[in-house]
Amino acid sequence: MERNLIHERETGERTGLHRRSVLCIICILSLSLGACAATTSLKIVKYGDDGITILNETSATYEWMEQNLPVHGDGSTHYYHQGPVFLDDPDPAIQEMLRWNAPEDKNVREKDMGAVKGTNLRDLCDLVGGMSPGDTVKIRAADGFSREFAYRNVYYPPSGQGPLVVTWWKGDAGYVPDYREGMRLVFFADTRTNPWGIHAFGNWDWHESADEQFWYYYRQGDQKYPTTTGLSVQYISDILIYSGSPSQSEPPRTTAPDVLEAPTQAGFSLHLIMGALGAGGFLAYNFKR
């Protein structure tokens, strides 16, 4: 009898520990997946010269943006970015040009951002006083991923680049949060270069539009491949305006302004989820013990 009671008590304790470990895993995964969910509002902040003092700030929902600011996109026109072009050549100079792909004819139609609608980033910046020459704006996602852009690319975009649009509606999904990648930054480029006559924001478009410090590369070992898909931040939660050059603003930053080594957002989010799974497994193992 006593032995049975001890066995039942130990079994009950193990069951309780197992339940708690499962709950811990669920909580951790919920937090990680929540950081990768579509956003429905964003915060806009303009900082002073020290990169810390807030000069002005506001928040906006996608409903407010649609009702109060010009809407970009007609709901049927698709917009494209360009992925990496995996071409090689013994001559480094030729290889570099192959990968920049000036004809804009490789890995473009595969990067369809959809028939999207949204709000011009410039209009959102203007809500807190706008940008000035020399300023940079940081587009940050709910999962911490971010990209930075110069004043001229936001306020005077060449046609090959097109306006930077924070999209909150997609043809096959509707509004965020049903538009699961939103809010998402999409470049509304023109149709002049690519052979299909589509609105494509090509790698060479960005080469010709932006300063080198803002170029983005997909890295594979010691090889680097230009791509504009890495500029398309998903789950946007914050728009942060800094005075002066990136190296002179926002002292608390933990990453350098040069984004060439930065991971893709999909990889960044995957690291969060894998970390959560690892932590959950560790907890489960220790609870079982």
Whole-number Å distance between alpha carbons of 162 and 184 = 15
How much is the pLDDT for 287?
45
Question: How many folded domains does the chain comprise?
Answer: 2
How much is the pLDDT for 251?
37
How much is the pLDDT for 244?
86
Same domain, 60 and 119: yes
Same domain, 273 and 136: no
Same domain, 284 and 210: no
pLDDT in tens, 59-68: 999 999 999 9
Among candidate residues 104, 79, 258, the one with its CA nearest the CA of residue 165: 79
Whole-number Å distance between alpha carbons of 188 and 140 = 19
Report pTM: 0.78
pLDDT in tens, 262-276: 345 555 555 454 554
CB 82 within 8 Å of CB 104:
yes
Higher pLDDT, 128 or 249: 128
Same domain, 123 and 2: no
Among candidate residues 198, 188, 179, 258, the one with its CA nearest the CA of residue 228: 188
Q: Is 193 left (phi over 0), alpha (psi -120 to 50) or beta?
A: alpha
Same domain, 162 and 100: yes
How much is the pLDDT for 100?
99
Same domain, 137 and 219: yes
Same domain, 108 and 152: yes
pLDDT in tens, 213-244: 999 999 999 999 999 999 999 999 999 999 98
Same domain, 117 and 87: yes
Same domain, 109 and 8: no
Q: Which of 4-8, 33-37, 62-66 has the lowest mean pLDDT?
A: 4-8
Residue 282, SS3 per DSSP: helix
Residues 6+ positions from 214 with CB-CB distance below 8 Å: 148, 149, 150, 153, 206, 259
Q: How high does pLDDT run on average in the chain?
A: 84
Instruction: Please name the residue that has the structure tokens 């004819």.
Output: 105
Same domain, 54 and 24: no
> Residue 3 above 90 pLDDT?
no
- Domain residues for the domain of 283 are 1-34+264-289
Higher pLDDT, 246 or 171: 171
- Classify burial at 167, counting beta carbons within 10 Å of its beta carbon; exposed 0-12, middle 13-18, buried 19 or more: buried
Helix and strand tally (H, E) in the chain? 7, 15
Higher pLDDT, 164 or 8: 164
Amino acid occupying residue 9: R
**DSSP-derived secondary structure letter, 19:** H
Q: Which CATH number goes with the domain that contains 168?
A: 3.90.420
Same domain, 161 and 271: no
Backbone phi and psi for residue 146, each to the nearest 5 degrees, phi listed first: -155, 160
Same domain, 110 and 46: yes
Tokens found for residue 178: 């049903």
pLDDT in tens, 94-123: 999 999 999 999 999 999 999 999 999 999
